[in-house]
Amino acid sequence: MTVLFNFDVTGTDGKARTGVIRTPRGNIRTPAFMPVGTAGTVKAMLPESVTATGADILLGNTYHLMLRPGAERVARLGGLHRFMNWEKPILTDSGGYQVMSLTELRKLTEEGVRFKSHIDGSEHLISPERSMEIQRLLGSDIVMAFDECTPYPADEATARSSMELSMRWAARSREAFGERPGHALFGIQQGSVFRDQREESAEALKAIGFDGYAVGGLAVGEGQELMFEVLDYAPGLLPADRPRYLMGVGKPDDIVGAVARGIDMMDCVLPTRSGRTGQAFTRRGVVNIKNARHAEDPRPLDAACTCPACRSYSRAYLHHVFRAGEIISSMLLTWHNLHYYQDLMAQMREAIAAGRFEAWQRGFHAERAEGDIPPI
């Protein structure tokens, strides 16, 4: 029998859950971290290398792909999976967040957002209907409803009108998406840091009915404490039998805290972007490979890591190639960072399944608190 799209929670520990999302393109083990493949590539990585880090799914950006090379062109070339040589599931965002953060001269109306491309100044409209069309042309497995990511800070009245607009757009997204067996549509909860608005938004989304639900409008500058405060209640307002996705998060301790609060999926540019700026995530915190202390250090970045950067290269080499501006620096550090993130997710899945997630979290924080290994 062909798998369409479903989600099973296979274990819980406190609010944390582990499970599996089944799609025609393969299973996604949750909690899942999705590497970001902005423009049809996870920067500095071959698709098979992304697979080797343990990723089950990656994220593509509607805004970038609609402008270059264009959704219709990708469709003519067989869809995004074939175009970028990635066979596993792809989630695409709706374009809403980036159109608001990257473009100037934009105009938001009930219809959608008119804007000028940041690449060549050409004029475009993105609306719920056009966002659904673009994501269909790309061949996305998990499609996100078109929404407005409420900026932070927002006063109650501004947050409310933004949330209500997003809910009207959510209904239009659902209508435009139609019936597409094997493809999923996720709704996005808004409401900023206001509990009553988060509740209303969740009710509106549930009434429309989605295959999964995202917590949107967080990780936009409110800080970890306030984000966790919202996550203490926001995921619980969404249906327990559907995947819950926290968009754009985050640092390793953000991810652990979000999973502890019932989040199943996350994405962030941090591991890939940091890999290009000389920052490595390790069990013992962040290592800045450009620091002079690594110049003659023959030890690996992390002796316990099994990624190629740690198995075959020294800190001294990674320091050298970063300082010399060599492309391999981005390749090795990105690989390491994605491996670290996927390993983190695998450890959490195992700990949740075994009912020892709280003890695991204590170990995670204790190891980070030790800091990097002392210099030689």
Among this protein's residues, is 343 annotated catalytic? no
- Asked whether position 310 contacts Zn ion by CB under 5 A, the answer is yes
CA–CA separation, 116 and 114 (whole Å)? 7
Q: Angle formed by the axes of helices 252-260 and 357-370, to 10°? A: 160
Smallest distance, Å, CB 85 to Zn ion?
24
Smallest distance, Å, CB 309 to Zn ion?
5
Q: In angstroms, what CA-CA distances link 21 with 6, 29, 60, 198, 246?
A: 6, 7, 18, 25, 16
- Asked whether position 283 contacts Zn ion by CB under 5 A, the answer is no
* Under 8 Å between Cβ of 184 and 145: no
The structure tokens listed for 374 are 């002392």
The stretch near Zn ion (CB under 5 A) out of 57-65, 155-163, 190-198, 332-340 is 332-340
The stretch near Zn ion (CB under 5 A) out of 11-19, 232-240, 324-332, 333-341 is 333-341
Q: Which residues contact 107 (CB under 8 A, 6 or more apart)?
A: 113, 114, 115
Among 202, 260, 305, 333, binds Zn ion (CB under 5 A): 305
DSSP class of residue 11 equals E
- Asked whether position 256 contacts Zn ion by CB under 5 A, the answer is no
- Asked whether position 134 contacts Zn ion by CB under 5 A, the answer is no
| One-letter amino acid for residue 164 of the chain | E
C-beta of 231 vs 307, nearer to Zn ion: 307
Total chain residues near Zn ion (CB under 5 A):
5
Among this protein's residues, is 93 annotated catalytic? yes
Chain centre distance of CA 48:
19
* Under 8 Å between Cβ of 272 and 233: no
Chain centre distance of CA 300:
28
The label of the residue with tokens 């209904």 reads 171
From residue 62 to residue 101, what is the string marking binding to Zn ion with x (rule CB under 5 A)?
----------------------------------------
C-beta of 42 vs 310, nearer to Zn ion: 310
How long, in residues, is the chain? 376
C-beta of 52 vs 353, nearer to Zn ion: 52
C-beta of 43 vs 195, nearer to Zn ion: 43
- Asked whether position 315 contacts Zn ion by CB under 5 A, the answer is no
The stretch near Zn ion (CB under 5 A) out of 27-35, 236-244, 254-262, 297-305 is 297-305
Q: In angstroms, what CA-CA distances link 362 with 154, 204, 259, 356?
A: 35, 37, 14, 10
The one catalytic residue among 56, 93, 141, 211 = 93
C-beta of 46 vs 119, nearer to Zn ion: 46
CA–CA separation, 191 and 194 (whole Å)? 6
- Asked whether position 307 contacts Zn ion by CB under 5 A, the answer is yes
For the chain, the maximum distance between any two Cα atoms, rounded to a whole number of angstroms, is: 62
Q: Could you tell me which residues are beta bridge partners of residue 107?
A: 114
CA–CA separation, 328 and 350 (whole Å)? 32
The label of the residue with tokens 């390749």 reads 331
Whether cis (ω within 30° of 0) applies to the bond prior to 60 is: no
Smallest distance, Å, CB 372 to Zn ion?
14
The one catalytic residue among 141, 254, 264, 267 = 267
From residue 155 to residue 184, what is the string marking binding to Zn ion with x (rule CB under 5 A)?
------------------------------
The stretch near Zn ion (CB under 5 A) out of 132-140, 169-177, 323-331, 336-344 is 336-344
Smallest distance, Å, CB 302 to Zn ion?
5
- Taking CA 131 as the corner, what is the angle to CA 125 and CA 132, rounded to the nearest 5 degrees? 145
- Asked whether position 336 contacts Zn ion by CB under 5 A, the answer is yes
Smallest distance, Å, CB 371 to Zn ion?
18
C-beta of 213 vs 340, nearer to Zn ion: 340
Smallest distance, Å, CB 312 to Zn ion?
10
Give the binding site for Zn ion (CB under 5 A).
305, 307, 309-310, 336
Q: Known catalytic residues?
A: 93, 267
